[in-house]
A = this chain, B = another copy of it.
Amino acid sequence: MRYAVIMAGGAGTRLWPMSRQGSPKQLLPLFGGLSLLQIAWARAVTVVQPSNLYVCTGAAYADEVLRQLPGLLPQNLLGEPVGRDSLNAVAWSGAVLAKRDPQAVMAVLAADHLITPEDVFAERLTVGFELAEADASALVTFGVVPTSPHTGFGYLERGEAVEGYPEASQVVAFREKPDAATAAQYLASGGYWWNSGMFVWRVATLLDQLRQLQPATYDAVVELADNPARLTAIYADLTPVSVDYAIMEPVSAGLGSAHVVAVALPTQWADVGSYASLYEALPHDESGNAASGTVATMDATGNLVLNNDAGVVALIGVTGLAVVRSGSAVLVVPLKDAEKVKQMALRLE
């Protein structure tokens, strides 16, 4: 009765022009020919049997997802008619699973993360299932053990240890992306983990917390599970909100009837959300360039060069840039300004 839903929604505007409306980042074959979604599938399938693996994605990507994942049962593909942020994708998936198996214990996994070593991940995901199976009031999350005072991630503030699970802690607060001084303090204290955005819980527990904290969403997703024909009509009216904001933060603060537990992930972890993190995640040549496609460099160091087209992309004498050609567009941006790509993508598309 272990299930997992890989969350593969989102257009990934911060990876424009690689990702677009029709080809979001998680479906791009960037990693030795594999997409992030295929890598996420390979990670999950070591813990959860394929027939219990689900993918929640945009309805427009359904064909491509089924093509990339031959092991995915078509009835396990949940296609959102429109994106409504993570709470609704998680809640809808939970309601669908509860309808099919009220005893389901459900992992929520991300399609756009790189995590190594994979066997450590599998082991800790299994611990997460065990915790949720043992404790009907637990919302289990995963905290990446920080290796730097990163200011680009949210943090989990750890409370007491969990008896019998040396790799887990209670979570007493979710902390927003910190400034540099705060991040350094978090790292030095040892009391904080990076918020990975992955979860395990009994679907019954999830729906119970939803009913208490987000009753409108609860009603909507239960109706959707009973009456899939109403998907398009109901989904568009859901309020976009993140699962952290709507459930995890209130529960960690003592609202709701559950509690939040985090399992440590002592792994390399990259949330491939921007060209800066993609650069970090890809292998580098001796000049520190990370390249994909036909690329020529001369006196160029520390660049990310992604060429999805025929013909060469040539760099001379530049440092620390992302240069991306995809579809008909070319983007040039310093890796340090990678967060500005979203703004450009929204302006152009």
* Chain A residues engaging chain B, CB cutoff 8 angstroms: 17, 296, 298-299, 307, 309-318, 321, 323, 325, 327-334, 337, 340-341, 343-344, 347-348
Contacts and interface: CB of A to CB of B under 8 A. Distances in A.
B348 A330 contact: no
B313 A330 contact: yes
Given A298-B344, A299-B340, A340-B298, A328 B311 contact: yes
Nearest to A343: B298
A348 B315 contact: no
Contacts of A348: 296, 312, 314
A323 B313 contact: no
Given A298-B340, A298-B344, A344-B298, A333 B312 contact: no
Contacts of A307: 330
Residue with the highest number of chain B CB atoms closer than 10 Å, among A311, A314, A331 = A314
B340 A317 contact: yes
Contacts of A311: 327-330
Contact of A316 (B310, B313, B318, B337): B337
Contacts of A321: 318, 332
9 contacts: A296-B347, A312-B328, A313-B329, A314-B332, A314-B333, A314-B344, A316-B332, A317-B334, A317-B340
A327 B323 CA distance: 17
> A-B pairs with the 6 shortest C-beta distances?
A311-B328, A317-B337, A316-B333, A313-B330, A314-B331, A311-B329
Contacts of A296: 344, 347-348
Contacts of A314: 17, 329-333, 344, 348
A328 B309 contact: yes
A299, A312, A313, A337: residue with the most chain B Cβ atoms closer than 10 Å = A312
Contacts of A332: 313-316, 318, 321, 323, 332
B347 A333 contact: no
A266 B316 CA distance: 36
B310 A334 contact: no
B330 A316 contact: no
A334 B331 CA distance: 16
Contacts of A315: 331-333
A341 to B, nearest CB: 7
A315 B332 CA distance: 5
Contacts of A299: 337, 340
Contact of A340 (B310, B316, B328): B316
A310 B340 CA distance: 23
